[in-house]
Amino acid sequence: MQPFTGSFTQQEPIAEDAIGAAVEVLRSGRLHRYNTVGDELGPVAELEKAYAAYQGSTYCLACTSGGYAMSTALRALGVGVGDRVLTNAFTLAPVPGAIAAVGADAVLVEITPDLVIDLDDLEAKIRATSPKAMLLSNMRGHLCDMDALMAVLNRQGVPLIEDCAHTMGASWNGRKSGSFGIAGCFSTQTYKHMNSGEGGFLTSNDCEFMARAIMLSGSYMLYDRHGAGPSPDVFKDIRLDTPNMSGRMDNLRAAILLPQLATLETNIDRWNDRHDLIANRLRAVAGVYVPNRPPQERYVGSSFQFLIPDSDAETMRQVVSSAKELGVELKWFGAASPVGFTSNHQSWRYVTPQDLPRTDAILAGLLDMRIPLTFSLEDCAQVADIIVHAVGQALQKGAA
């Protein structure tokens, strides 16, 4: 079989209009977020206005990272030392890291084979722990039944913050991901849906929550220089009660991002064409389970996941090894030690150890792969063929 030679970490180049906007900021020398002249709004505030309009939210704060957006959202909600915060047992380390950053304790909730939160376990954990909030991770772009989730949380009086690092532009029943709870947190790190190297957004419709977030981000009492912030009267007491933990985005990254917002919807369609080609090929393979995508979900297929249920560790290592020999990089979330970004709850020693048998069984057979837009549809067909070959070879060896 012909090896694949593409790079799973190579993104598309930054477009010329974004490069031009960045050069303009560099030539001005005014990179700081509040370094404006006269009534000029500035790139960061312009980006906040534009992203709030895209998201359909009243307020938006442009941040230095998605992780900063999450920890700031928790602080703005009043979560602190010793509070319990619910989150998915299957997520990436920045999510429990944001909970740890405010001194709270993560309560991990089991997942289903479709890689979304288990609502029955969620309700049981709420009753058992009396959490201050839930930080939902839409991990790898998989949305749970958001209507059912909100029914549980509203019934139990638990506020929701959404981690939408993998669901920027996604929706459930036509409602944007990030708009269901008090806040949505987004990432513009290189491997997400817009690329500023590092960065993010925090969105909300709650004026006092956003005023606290803006003060936390380091407004230096310049909160009137925000593109999508509350009116000045909301800050009357909040501006004096809230500490400065600087983390608002700078003008250079904002300049790079603003032109990318115009192409986001087109890129979502391109990702989904690639994702669906691979998913449809793998769904036909015996011994493989591709997570279900319900019709209510509009997803963003910038990565692909599949499971080989009930496989032992040696079979999983064989699949990863065989695919890698042919140029395809698969990440296994069930490995005993974290590799790159694939850490699981057993390696987060800053989180109280928790018994999660259903999640562990799922992660034991879970494989993950990035789908950069530098891959053509022909590339994706070749990648799918290699995965099918690697899986077939490993399962055949395991059955021998």
Cα of 50 vs its chain's centroid, Å = 20
Beta strands at 183-187 and 200-204: parallel, antiparallel or unpaired? antiparallel
Q: How many CB atoms lie within 10 A of CB 207?
A: 17
Contact 341, 273 (CB under 8 A): no
Question: What is the rounded (10 degree) CA torsion for 361, 135, 347, 340?
Answer: 90
Tens-digit pLDDT profile for residues 325-338: 999 999 999 988 88
Tens-digit pLDDT profile for residues 211-226: 999 999 999 999 999 9
Tens-digit pLDDT profile for residues 43-71: 999 999 999 999 999 999 999 999 999 99
Asked whether residue 339 carries a pLDDT value surpassing 90, the answer given is no
Tens-digit pLDDT profile for residues 106-143: 999 999 999 999 999 999 999 999 999 999 999 999 99
Locate the DSSP E strands across 178-220. Answer: 183-187, 200-204
Q: What's residue 399's pLDDT?
A: 66
Distance CA 366, CA 7 (A): 21
Q: Which whole number is the average pLDDT over 229-255?
A: 97
Tens-digit pLDDT profile for residues 12-45: 999 999 999 999 999 999 999 999 988 888 999 9
Q: Is the pTM of this model over 0.95?
A: yes
Q: Which whole number is the average pLDDT over 308-317?
A: 95
Quickly state the pLDDT bin for 375 (edges 50, 70, 90): very high
- List of domains in the chain: 16-261 (3.40.640.10), 264-399 (3.90.1150.10)
Share of the chain above pLDDT 90, in %: 94
Length of the chain: 400
